[in-house]
Amino acid sequence: MNNKIARISSRLYFDLLQKGGDRLIAVYSILKTSREEDKYYSYTSKNNKFVGGYSLLRAKTILTLHTIKKYVPILIDMGLISILDNGDIYIMGGEKIKELYSSRKLVPIKIGKNLNDTADNVMSVRVFSAKHQQERQIVKKQNRSELLSQLSNPTNYKLYKRAKRLLKKLDGEEITILDEVVLSNQGYAVLKKGVEDNKPMGCYWKQKLVKKGIIKSERRYTKKQKMSFTEYITFKNNYPHNKAIYRNGFLCKEEIATLNPIDLTEETLPIIEDIKPITVELPKKQVKGLKHLQFDMIAWWENN
């Protein structure tokens, strides 16, 4: 089972995500890869017991009966699965799926050893998609920054005019270029549950993906001022709500952690073009009288 991959339409992926989350997608993917052709065929067991319907799915898959009773009715309501009168289970084929969900992009879901493992792989699809989107934004902003340099030292008139048009389009917007892909705890929470203001949830799911070996996440720090530990303690006593930390002889600000996928392959870690960018605004911390603590907000995501 572990080597199997279910490929589902990207539009179907998001429809299932809205109706039942990652576990519903995982259930559908497991049922899709465990079947024979487009059916599960009912049968009579050795003890002369009829096996069909939900009990048939329980016998043929890694799913528990509780999970089947919880999620399969949703798939039946969506028309993706039918239970026939003779106990056979019919799963809608690829051609009919294309008619309902007109999408040329297939999302590969790696089937894990159990439902939870597969559900984590379902979430990882969105994490890697977010990574690719941010990479494209980094390249886009780098190109814009290079173009704007034509305003002060133009290579030719055509590039100068393009830079003027871009400047007008930006309308005062700053171009913040990151050299690394990052994802905050809020970002993980949005990818999992669509909830922006829930750092603990995001931290939980980030650590879960890290422990499974799906991603690597490294903490990053920006040095703000050199000081002794005694000076740092005095600073924290004066400004207890400031989140600056002491590290290796410097007052530091912790930045958003990097996102580094492990074993990134086209087969198991797809890009989904349909995902909308996440907007996450981190509050700017300011302390009067200490200019070095007037941290800039990291604008690491941009809506198109």
Tens digit of each residue's pLDDT (9 = 90 or more) over 207-263: 889 888 888 888 888 899 999 999 999 999 999 888 889 999 999 988 888 887 665
Q: Is the dihedral of CA 237, 239, 244, 250 positive or negative?
A: negative
Cα separation values, 282 from 45, 131, 184, 186, 287, Å:
60, 19, 9, 9, 16
Looking from the CA of 119 toward its CB, the CA atoms found within 13 Å total: 16
3-state secondary structure of 215: strand
Q: Is the pLDDT of residue 265 over 90?
A: no
Q: Which is more confident, 302 or 204?
A: 204
Helices (H) and strands (E) in the chain, counts: 9, 12
Percent of the chain with pLDDT over 90: 33
Domains of the chain plus CATH, in order, are 5-113 (1.10.10), 127-293 (no CATH)
Averaged pLDDT of the chain? 80
Whole-model pTM over 0.75: no
**Closest C-alpha to 180, from 112, 260, 287, 236:** 260
- State pLDDT tens for residues 144-167: 888 888 888 888 888 888 888 888
| pLDDT value of residue 145 | 85
Long-range CB contact pairs, 165-172, < 8 A, 24+: 170/144
The separation between the first and the last C-alpha atoms of the chain, rounded to the nearest angstrom, is 39
In sequence order, the β-bridge partners of residue 89 are: 40, 83
pLDDT at 275 over 80: no
| 155: Cβ contacts below 8 Å, ≥ 6 apart | none
The amino acid sitting at 14 is F
- Residue 279 pLDDT grade (very low, low, confident, very high; cuts 50, 70, 90): very low
Name the residue with higher pLDDT: 280 or 243: 243
- The Cα 126–Cα 278 span in angstroms is 11
Rounded CA separation 285/144 (Å): 28
- Predicted confidence at residue 191, as pLDDT, reads 86
Res 1: pLDDT: 45
Tell me the per-residue pLDDT of 61-86, one tens digit each, with 9 for 90 and over: 999 999 999 999 999 999 999 999 99
Q: Which residue has better confidence, 273 or 256?
A: 256
Instruction: Measure the CA–CA gap between 163 and 166, rounded to whole angstroms.
Output: 5
In this predicted structure, the answer to whether residue 29 has a pLDDT above a threshold of 60 is yes
Across 21-86, the runs of DSSP E, i.e. the strands, are 39-40, 43-44, 50-51, 81-83
* Token pair listed for 276: 């909308």
Write out pLDDT tens, residues 105-132.
Answer: 888 899 999 999 999 999 988 888 888 8
The per-residue b/e assignment along 266-295, b for 16 or more CB within 10 angstroms, e otherwise, is: eebbbbbeebeebebeeeeeebeebeebeb
Strand, coil or helix: what is 260?
A: strand
pLDDT at 268: 43
Tell me if 280 sits within 8 A of 301, measured CB to CB: yes
